[in-house]
Amino acid sequence: MPHPNDPKLRSFIPVDPSSDFPIQNLPYGVFSARGRTPRVGVAIGDYVLDLCELEQDGRFAFAEIGVFSQASLNPFMALGPKMWSKTRARISELLRYDHPELRDDEGLRKLVLVPIGEVKLHMPFAVSGYTDFYSSKEHATNVGVMFRGKDNALQPNWLHMPIGYNGRASTVVVSGTRVKRPRGQLKPPSAEAPHFGPCKRLDFELEMGVVVGQASKMGEMLSEQQAEEMIFGFVILNDWSARDIQQWEYVPLGPFQAKAFATSISPWVVTREALEPFRLHGPAQQPEPLAYLRQAQPNNYAMELDVSLRASQMNAAQTICRTNFKYMYWSSVQQLVHHASSGCAMNVGDLLGSGTISGPEKHQRGSLLEISWNGSEPVTLDGGVTRTFLEDGDSLVMRGWCQGDGYRVGFGEVEGTIVKAE
């Protein structure tokens, strides 16, 4: 049987080369349509393949019955990497142009292939815990220069470990969820005392999210290989940020309410296996990390990312950032290894945010804080519209994909629109 990543594979379903969802991808999500309760599906071209119906029809005889009828990927992820790989291979086989089992069964095809325009997409997994990292050297340097000056841009610990904080799983939401402008304590530099009110410097952060599919035991560390095998897949992640709330609260313990109000993720989880052809080594790490963080294999990915903004006065969105996941200084594997290094137990459904992804060029900055340089360089959009931070009615869309030879492995998009604080 051909490997599911074979670039020569074709589906019996026509898929445009520019589609995010060719047969080499097969991302998982949770959907409802045609009166069906939320269940697990896979995106293929312009369709969603209903894995619940295929499971009930006996097409996954090796799988634990009922995992695809759930409104969450967690039960499936708990089955482990061998089952993930086996299932993906079976789905690939069912969709191949030269395999008649589904292709030639008209009744089954009509039952299990749902046009993607007819479905409602839900949160793809139940988030057990959410941790956000700060792992782009370019982003950390830009922020450091703004607030501490060029000579003290990076804190002394930054080059020695992935810096992160524990966020709120309760407010991780799926793409399309409207985001209410947060309120909090604000203290402008000129004010003698803080006041409480709506955030005035609302921002986005372009990130990737790691979906942890296997648990680890409390008190145990992880090796590089163990951490890699625990990663089920990735989503695009927008870590909305209230910069003015953060500025007042973050000393001495870091972000709290400034990041707790909303984090948006894409509805499709692209598996680690689908991204395998696009792995590469990340930036050279100097000084060399401590032994437990050293990497023997390439753990970064050549993944194109872009952000477009439709200001409330505009009819169409405009690209404001184009960067690549390959620039990340600390890899997702290193983040997971470090997270567990104290003995912290990891759970199925944990979500790790990569931290803002910025590159070395100005157009590669992954937040408005950087793009507008803390508000001092307003962004000019079509029609003369300007922005330093997000305003009510603004809509933001993030997209990501890995480009193969004649196909792309993509994530769809994560969208969010800002609504007024009540």
Q: Choose among 175, 168, 242: nearest CA to 204.
A: 242
Whether 139 is catalytic = yes
Catalytic residue among 122, 139, 281, 338: 139
Q: Are strands 120-122 and 28-32 parallel, antiparallel or unpaired?
A: antiparallel
Give residue 269's identity as a one-letter amino acid code: V
Q: Are strands 395-403 and 386-387 parallel, antiparallel or unpaired?
A: unpaired
Q: Choose among 5, 178, 11: nearest CA to 97.
A: 11
Alpha-carbon span 321 to 398, nearest angstrom: 9
Alpha-carbon span 275 to 233, nearest angstrom: 9
Q: Choose among 236, 242, 102: nearest CA to 176.
A: 236
Chain-centroid distance, C-alpha 362: 22
Q: Choose among 36, 40, 87, 85: nearest CA to 61.
A: 87
Convert 121-159 to b/e letters by CB count within 10 Å (16 or more is b): bbbbbbbebbbbbbbbbbbbbbbbbeeeeeeebeeeebe
**Residues annotated as catalytic (active site), given as ranges:** 139
